[in-house]
Each structure stands twice: as structure tokens, then as C-alpha cells.
Amino acid sequence: MIPRHSEARIQEMRPVGAFVASVLGALQSAAKPGVSLLELDALAHDMIRQAGATSCYIDYHPSFGGSPFGKVLCTSVNDAALHGLPHDYALQGGDLLSLDFAVNLGGWVADSAVSLIVGSPANPDDQRLIDVCEEALKAGIAAAVPGNRLGDISHAIGTVAKAHGFAVNADFGGHGVGRTMHEDPSIPNDGAPGHGPTLKPGMVFAIEPWLMHGTSEIYTDEDGWTLRSVDGSRAAHVEHTVVVTKNGPLVLTAR
């Protein structure tokens, strides 16, 4: 069953959404050539402490993870698509960096991700990849309205991706979010319209398209966490926490 939340509870969720957005904004500003992934993780960790929040990642150990994650931020660089484990790597100009961040604040969780090109030079193909992910995210959010079906969100994302010539991996995608980071349902990044549960006000989803230049296949890095493209092509990943409301989608993590 997909949880539904009252208007009062949705108001309680707003602070964690705003906090996640503020952290990602600070990280985007800090992600410059020469800055290490560990420094970005430390910045996020400091902001978590100052806010009295709790990381959703540091003790996270699902079946597909090699060990407890141990960091508070996912930092995926270039051919890393998802779950990038921060390590001692100094960012270089032109790197394609994806940042994924989720915390619990006041008993509620928000989850969001952003992709950017570090410094310069910017590869036009990388920027196009990010732009398509952003377009797919907007389409998925636009489909998150009462009366639609869950498959309409997936279909909207997949339609944008495939229209631009990208293959879609459905192994990892969006999900419900609320008291915990991963709740029902799973939201693949491609699917059939008109299928799945009916969307109703008060449902809260993390919608998260991710794409790679040349493939839809991934493998797990030796660190036990980072998922990389099998052909070495670059990847982008974007995400927002979204509430289905009678007045349309409400993006809690809007930056």
C-alpha cells in the first residue's frame, strides 16, 4: 500500500525538503576543480550536524551494497551513474558530477540529486545528457497528479529519454519516501501508461531519472557501491521529492 499523508503532515515535510535543497545548493557552489569528493562529503556532514538532522546513507546497507555506506553523500563522477562512494579524488575541470543526498529532519525524509559539469571545459554532449535528464524529471513530475497511474510517471520519463536516443535502465529508479528513505512503490524510469496504482493526494515520491551516453548497462565498482557504465560512457542523475496534491505536484526539494 502506498502511504498517504495529511495536509498537516505535508507541512511538516517542508523543512526537510528545504534543507536538502540548501545542502545541494552549497555543494554545487563548492564543487570546483581541485576540491576532493571527501571535502564535499565533509561539508554535507557539517551541515547535517548544524541542522540536527540524521543521514539516511551513513549506516545504509541494502543487499546490493558491499558494506554500510559510511558517508553522507553520493558523489558519482563521469562514468559513475549512481551510489558513488566518496573517496580521495580531486575534481577536474570538465568532470560530470552527480550529487545525491537524503536526510531525516524532524522525523521526515527528503531525497534529491543534481548533476553538473565542474569548472570548464564543458563537453556539449555532457550538458545535453544533463538537460535530457532534467527534461525527463520535469515530465515525470508533471505526471504526478491525482487520477493518473503510477505507470504514467514512468512512461513520461522513458518517453523523454528515448525521444533523445537514450536507452533506459529500469533496475534503479524512483520510490516512495516519507518516514524512511525507501518506501513503496518502486518507480522505474520507463513503463506503460495507464498501469499501476492510481495516484491520490498525499502520496510522496522521489522521482529520479538517470541516463548514460552509450548504454543502459551498469556494473558495481570494487568499492562495493559505485555503479558504473559498462562502456565507460558518462552518466547523469537528477531527483526531486514530490507530493501529489489536488492542486498539482508540489516539489519539496525545489532549489
CATH says 7-251 is which class?
Answer: alpha beta
Which residues neighbour 50 within 8 Å (Cβ) at sequence distance 6 or greater? Answer: none
Percent of the chain with pLDDT over 90: 97
- Mean pLDDT within 96-122: 97
Dig out the grid coordinates for 38 from the structure.
Answer: 571527501
Distance CA 162, CA 107 (A): 38
Helix (H, G, I), strand (E, B) or coil at 103: strand
Q: What are phi and psi of 229, to 5 degrees?
A: -70, 140
Dig out the grid coordinates for 145 from the structure.
Answer: 497528479
| pLDDT score of 66 more than 90 | no
Banded model confidence at residue 122, pLDDT cuts 50, 70, 90: confident
Q: Which residue has the cell 513520461?
A: 156
Percent of the chain with pLDDT over 70: 100
Banded model confidence at residue 1, pLDDT cuts 50, 70, 90: confident
Torsion angle (degrees, nearest 10) of CA 91, 71, 20, 24: 0
Q: Check: CB of residue 93 under 8 Å from CB of residue 61.
A: no
Question: Helix 124-142 and helix 150-163: axis angle, to 10°?
Answer: 160
Banded model confidence at residue 64, pLDDT cuts 50, 70, 90: confident
Q: What is the pLDDT of residues 4-42, one digit of tens each?
A: 999 999 999 999 999 999 999 999 999 999 999 999 999
Distance CA 48, CA 153 (A): 31
- Distance between alpha carbon 158 and the CA centroid of its chain, in Å? 16
pLDDT for res 101 = 98
pLDDT for res 121 = 85
Distance CA 161, CA 11 (A): 33
Q: Return the DSSP state at 122.
A: P
| pLDDT score of 248 more than 90 | yes
| pLDDT score of 94 more than 90 | yes
- Mean pLDDT within 39-50: 98
Domain ranges of the chain: 7-251
Q: Indicate the average pLDDT of the chain.
A: 97
Distance CA 237, CA 97 (A): 9
Q: What is the pLDDT of residues 73-88, one digit of tens each?
A: 999 999 999 999 999 9
Q: What is the pLDDT of residues 125-161, one digit of tens each?
A: 999 999 999 999 999 999 999 999 999 999 999 999 9
Banded model confidence at residue 110, pLDDT cuts 50, 70, 90: very high
